[in-house]
A and B are shown apart, each in its own frame.
Chain A
Amino acid sequence: MTADNKKMKISLKIWRQESPQAAGHFEAYELDDVTPEMSFLEMLDHLNEKLVSEGKTPVYFESDCREGICGTCGLVINGIAHGVGPRKATCQLHMRSFQDGETIHVEPWRAKAFPVIQDLGVDRSAFDRIIAAGGYVSVNTGNAPDGNSLPVGKTTAEQAFDAAACIGCGACVAACKNASASLFVSAKISQYALLPQGQPERARRAGAMVAQMEEEAFGSCTNETECSAVCPKGISFENIVRMNREFLRSQFGSTEIE
């Protein structure tokens, strides 16, 4: 446990940008009463309270659940998407991961497909459009057979879950030098490619989702695996390999490529 009364001094360089059209810049802030048990976002809350009581405009950043599952938060902290440490969203980063006196750079996700809306907030609606293109099983409410009529092996279910655990935060895009969305798209394609429920639409889904991904302003994957390294849910790079296979399958017919 950390000492209760220990205060840290932190220098912040935060990206401020009034609107999508405006030019952005780094602005410097100093805090001298940060505590190690504060989360990173609580530290920003604290900064914002100070700014508001001084009549200044608070820093806009997005977050909601604050427990690493909703995927709303996402900051590049000292050059790393979601900050230092494996398998965590920004909201799960604590100030005990920083040194007293440290200077911290805070930026939004940087990607053409994720335009900045204000300060540290970006527009990730491209992800919704990719899901709308085919990231589901087409089954209307009320059509379902009994849940146990379709056995799914434990290992398959676990693998599908591992892919399905994606929280759609976009860190994979932010970490990729090409701003590729491959990890996000492949996770959804993999979930359904692995499960029996996903089979009837398997080829159509892969084709449609990849096509939508290419229509958005994401770059291509060049196998650097930066995406998996920053993923809060540890989504494996293997999914991208599977996506490529599924995509080929969708283009040539399922019997030709197995």
Chain B
Amino acid sequence: MMKLDAKIPSGDISEKWTRHKFEMKLVSPANRRKHQIIIVGTGLAGASAAATLGEAGYQVKSIFYHESPRRAHSIAAQGGINAAKNYQNDGDSVFRLFYDTIKGGDFRAREANVHRLAEVSTSIIDQCVAQGVPFAREYGGTLANRSFGGTQVSRTFYARGQTGQQLLLGAYGAMMRQVDAGQVEMLTRREFMDLVVVNGQARGVIVRNLLTGELETHMGSAVVLATGGYSNVYYLSTNAKHSNVSATWRAYKKGALFANPSFMQIHPTCIPVSGDYQSKLTLMSESLRNDGRVWVPKQAGDKRSPTQIPESERDYFLERKYPSFGNLVPRDVASRNAKTVCDEGRGVGNSGEAVYLDFADAIGRLGPQKIAEKYGNLFEIYSNITGEDPYKLPMRIFPAPHYTMGGLWVDYHLMTTIPGLFAIGEANFSDHGANRLGASALMQGLADGYFVLPYTLANYLGNTSLASVSDQADEAKATRRSVAEKIDRILGVKGKTPVTVIHRRLGRVMWNFVGMSRSKEGCQKAIQEIRELREEFWSDCAVPGDANTLNHSIELAGRVADFLEFGELIAKDAETREESCGCHFREEYQTPENEALRNDDAFAHVAAFEYQGEDKEALRHQEALVFENVKPSQRSYK
């Protein structure tokens, strides 16, 4: 069996990264311009990497399916970004952020990566401030902080409820500066179709020009995937409509290992589903849980309006069960408890699939003005969608798929098992274990792009001999041919069922059997049903039009085809991980208090899957996780 080597540097955890930065190879400024680096995606990770590599002197090609880098889904992140600045003098430190992240991830993340993340977190804030990101400030002019789910310190920096937008616009500005300088070339409206591997090294990509339908080949010294997460395999999620798994999935089919695919975070504070035609779920930042109190009626089936239910008949279940963290327990705990009370028949709203998030106390304590300052835009989003006024009535919220901790397996250098193929941001699996803490996704995306990849990519280039290859290389031509064949195959089906209909059905299967809680039987059922849907897709999908023009239906179909394969890997991973940890809750493995029951003896490892060919079982590899600095314990937020 392949031995997964994470290439973790030796030495004390707090010195690994500093020392390793010295040990790694550099590329001299004069040689950098000889390297063409291909970066796919322009979210926080992709845009920050493109900007930083451009500044360093590399020739960067930035490839993305949006019309502009600023459209990437990082733009929608609301709540904030963590950094171990300890500006609040409340006991925060690099080690505490490291500790909280390992513990929050339920001891399924790699210590060395997480420590490095905590170390560079402080530089990220400095960098973003220097770019003119308008973070929230105190009257004295210093940066403001707030606390976020799963922590007891205030280390989250924010820009109202639009932190992701402001950070992405900062990275986008930095990237556009390099576009102006000629260091970064933007290839807009291009969909990644496949990876070109030459002599075992990632050397290029095949993309489809979405305006003309033309297939293009772009070659380079290395390829970086910054293509985000795959929550849309559940159809309804908080992700943007076009977010997909295709780039990472196609890299997997080219030999990159896919790690922990079943680790999917359900976000507790989303607006509940209202109808059959719903196209997505809208998240509201969990910073709302700082002041909102979560409750349901004590009595099952209580259909009174919330304002009619007296205090004594309300169950503030998070405060009751977790007195020290209360409403600020981590996302997986908050989500699962919401599901439990709804399963008990105590859910609210028309569907009974919602709980209240009530601001009456906070409005009484702080006044509506102060609440508007903190959460104004979130309240606006809510009333816009539901037609209800959250200043008067409690919000109704329910968990929804939001973020995927799983992704391409990468070593300490963020390189996949294909040399020269890197994965950064949500596209990789590395830092969040089985559950991500709030405000840590933005931190990781920017850490990878600004401060990690620029070093580790140079190390790869400095250590590797790269033969010169052209876009006419046999491997490039063959890959391009197979891409064209796949498009023809999709167009050749000429069936009756729109791909969106099949996608919606896949989503229901995924949510029912490999969603918030899983069982062996459910996983097997999911695999069965996904196979049937896949068959239906390839015999009856309706994809109108032809390939040589702007044809949005082809894009949708290609992505759904990949989700239909990928969903099965999620179910397989969920089935084979016979424990509960973080987001992954197996009904068979729980404590008497219904908390996740880990099995560290058998499952303190990363599960990384290797593609074996069409319709063949993927091979499951393990990377053992060693905890030298934080002793695994049962998480307790009581």
Contact = CB atoms under 8 A, between A and B. Distances in A.
A136 B131 contact: yes
Interface stretch (B122-130, B474-482, B603-611): B122-130
18 contacts: A2-B387, A4-B275, A19-B549, A55-B542, A58-B552, A64-B71, A65-B76, A71-B75, A72-B67, A94-B384, A131-B172, A137-B173, A139-B130, A140-B55, A142-B451, A154-B138, A164-B166, A197-B130
A147 B144 CA distance: 11
A143 B451 CA distance: 12
A49 B240 contact: no
Interface stretch (B176-184, B308-316, B355-363): B176-184
B632 interface: no
Query: What 10 pairs across the A-B complex have the smallest Cβ distances?
Result: A151-B141, A136-B173, A144-B130, A144-B126, A161-B134, A197-B132, A147-B129, A157-B137, A64-B240, A141-B52
A197 B127 CA distance: 11
Contacts of A87: 380
Contacts of A131: 172-173, 176
A57 to B, nearest CB: 6
A222 interface: no
Given A88-B384, A161-B159, A198-B132, A49 B550 contact: no
Given A72-B71, A144-B123, A191 B180 contact: no
Contacts of A124: 67-68
A136 B277 contact: no
Interface string A30-48: 0000010111011101101
Nearest to A208: B180
A255 interface: no
A129 B425 CA distance: 26
Interface stretch (B405-413, B497-505, B567-575): B497-505
A21 interface: no
A133 interface: yes
B179 A132 contact: yes
Contacts of B69: 128
A152 B71 CA distance: 28
A137 B177 CA distance: 9
A66 B277 CA distance: 14
Given A124-B67, A148-B142, A154-B141, A57 B550 contact: no
B278 interface: yes
Contact of A53 (B127, B385, B497): B497
Contacts of A43: 277
B381 A67 contact: yes
A68 B161 CA distance: 13
B486 interface: no
A123 interface: yes
Indicate the member of A35, A39, A60 with the most B CB atoms within 10 Å.
Answer: A39
B42 to A, nearest CB: 11
Nearest to A195: B132
Nearest to B130: A144
A146 interface: yes
Among B87, B129, B553, chain A packs the most CB atoms within 10 A around the CB of B129
A156 to B, nearest CB: 8
A211 interface: no
Contacts of A39: 279
Contacts of B402: none
Interface in B373-423: 380-381, 384-388
A136 B176 CA distance: 8
A131 B42 CA distance: 16
A228 B517 CA distance: 47
A191 B67 contact: no
A117 interface: yes
A251 B542 CA distance: 58
A83 interface: no
B275 A37 contact: yes
A84 interface: no
Contact of B135 (A37, A48, A139, A157): A157
A62 B280 contact: no
B67 A62 contact: yes
Nearest to A160: B134
B143 interface: yes
A93 B424 CA distance: 35
A70 B275 contact: no
A52 interface: yes
Nearest to A128: B68
Nearest to B142: A148
Contacts of B143: 147-148
A42 B498 contact: no
A141 B450 contact: yes
Nearest to A134: B180
B280 A37 contact: no
Interface string A85-118: 0011000101010000000000000000000011
A195 B162 CA distance: 18
B468 interface: no
Contacts of B71: 64, 70-72
B139 interface: yes
B19 interface: no
A167 B85 contact: no
A111 B130 CA distance: 35
Given A125-B68, A151-B142, A157 B179 contact: no
A23 interface: no
A37 to B, nearest CB: 5
A35 B70 CA distance: 32
B265 interface: no
B352 interface: no
Interface string B55-79: 1000000000011111111011000
Contacts of B188: 125
B368 interface: no
A92 B498 CA distance: 25
Nearest to A137: B132
Given A136-B173, A140-B55, A64 B73 contact: yes
A173 B287 CA distance: 34
B51 interface: yes
B370 interface: no
Contacts of A198: 132
Interface string A150-193: 11111001001100110110000000000000000000000110
Contact of A197 (B48, B129, B141, B162): B129
Contacts of A58: 544, 552-553
A37 B388 CA distance: 12
Interface centre among B48, B73, B279 (most CB of A within 10 A): B279
Interface in B75-104: 75-76, 85, 87
Interface in B152-188: 159-160, 162, 165-166, 169, 172-174, 176-177, 179-180, 186, 188
Contacts of A52: 498, 542-544, 553
